Amino acid sequence: MKNKFYLGSHVGMNSKNNYLIGTAKEAIENGANTLMFFTGAPQNTIRTATEKLNIEEFKKILIENDIDITKTLCHGPYTINLANTVKPEIFELGVRLLKEELNRLEEIGVHLVVLHPGAAVGAERKIALDSVIKGLNMVYKDLPNTPVKIALETMSGKGTEVCINFDEIKYVLDNVERKDMIGVCFDTCHMHDAGYDVKNNFDGVVEEFNNLIGLDKLLAIHLNDSKNFINAHKDRHENIGYGYIGFKALSNIVHNPLFKNIPIVLETPYIDGKISPYKLEIEMLKNNKFVNNFDLDIKTE
């Protein structure tokens, strides 16, 4: 039976759980039919050799559990900042790490990576955006045959982040050389915090995106509630139904036929920093009914 939607969460990858074997098993345990992972610690450059990651077993487990690897994705390291023109060495490191990431993902067989576009750190925004374009062009020039696409994530506007609105994203997409390889990842918390009305008018937000950029460029969705009011420019994720976006608006996104072929992944906080919320959140969203599983304060109805 064809899936009504692809819904999963961020899942771990580490030596203790046999790398990608544990990644796949965690997703299955959560009742997910898609998943997102880091290929290593997001805050550093250390990466385990791909031959140790149990790639073939990972693919086998996915097939056995009807998880389509073409609907899975990776999150790029936070250490990449292609927007940084103030420190050229940071930009160069970002280009190198991104190329390495695309090569690793090609070996793993996952062909989509979500990337934070970066921060201007003191430079003018247009200069920073031009730097993102330059970095993406360098990566695909060096890897002309890679099958791995990059989805630029919508950002909340904290600090000097770029790509905090559709105009900035459009500017990047219009000016990259490999337009076929670069798209967008919606993050509902970031969009809400950047000022888009995800709670009351997501249809209008999607229409604006479609008119400006095109829904064919939407490659993934990060589904997160927000701890802050709209337009707060913060970026603090909340568990589904407990934040200022609320359950109804977020569940409507999952069940919207427009997104039925787009992987939707949760990045919500662990309860008390220890207990994964994903199995219960996925079940709740599948059933389209809010259940107060975690006994947290509900900020909105």
Q: Give the C-alpha distances (Å, rounded to integers) separating 158 from 84, 105, 115, 191, 235.
A: 15, 29, 16, 12, 7
* Per-residue pLDDT at 200 exceeds 60: yes
pLDDT, residue 44, reads 86
Mean of pLDDT values over 203-226 = 98
pLDDT, residue 43, reads 84
Q: What is the pLDDT of residues 24-77, one digit of tens each?
A: 999 999 999 999 999 998 888 889 999 999 999 999 999 999 999 999 999 999
pLDDT, residue 71, reads 98
* Per-residue pLDDT at 239 exceeds 50: yes
pLDDT, residue 274, reads 95
Q: Determine if residue 187 is labeled as part of a ligand binding site.
A: yes
Q: Determine if residue 153 is labeled as part of a ligand binding site.
A: yes
Q: Determine if residue 237 is labeled as part of a ligand binding site.
A: yes
Q: What is the pLDDT of residues 140-161, one digit of tens each?
A: 999 999 999 999 999 999 999 9
Q: Cα(294)–Cα(291) distance, rounded to whole angstroms? A: 9
The H-assigned helical ranges of 86-197 are: 88-108, 125-142, 166-175, 188-194
Cβ neighbors of 273 (< 8 A, separation 6 or more) are none
pTM of the model: 0.97
* Per-residue pLDDT at 236 exceeds 50: yes
Q: Determine if residue 92 is labeled as part of a ligand binding site.
A: no
Tokens 């008390």 -> residue:
272
pLDDT, residue 58, reads 98
Q: Give the C-alpha distances (Å, rounded to integers) separating 230 from 109, 157, 297.
A: 37, 12, 18
Q: Determine if residue 68 is labeled as part of a ligand binding site.
A: no
pLDDT, residue 26, reads 98
Give Cα 275 to chain centroid, integer Å.
21
pLDDT, residue 94, reads 97
Percent of the chain with pLDDT over 90: 95
Q: Which two tokens stand for residue 209?
A: 């995106």
Q: What is the pLDDT of residues 257-272, one digit of tens each?
A: 999 999 999 999 999 9
pLDDT, residue 45, reads 87
Q: Determine if residue 203 is labeled as part of a ligand binding site.
A: no
Q: What is the pLDDT of residues 85-134, one digit of tens each?
A: 999 999 999 999 999 999 999 999 999 999 999 999 999 999 999 999 99
Q: Which two tokens stand for residue 159?
A: 């600090």
10 forms beta bridges with: 36
* Per-residue pLDDT at 231 exceeds 90: yes
pLDDT, residue 1, reads 46
| Average pLDDT value for the chain | 97
Say how many residues make up the chain: 301
Domains of the chain: 6-287 (3.20.20.150)
Q: Determine if residue 208 is labeled as part of a ligand binding site.
A: no
Q: E-strand spans in the chain?
A: 6-10, 34-37, 73-75, 112-115, 149-153, 182-187, 218-223, 225-226, 237-238, 263-266
Measured between its terminal Cα atoms, the distance across the chain in Å is: 34
pLDDT, residue 2, reads 64
pLDDT grade, residue 244 (50/70/90)? very high
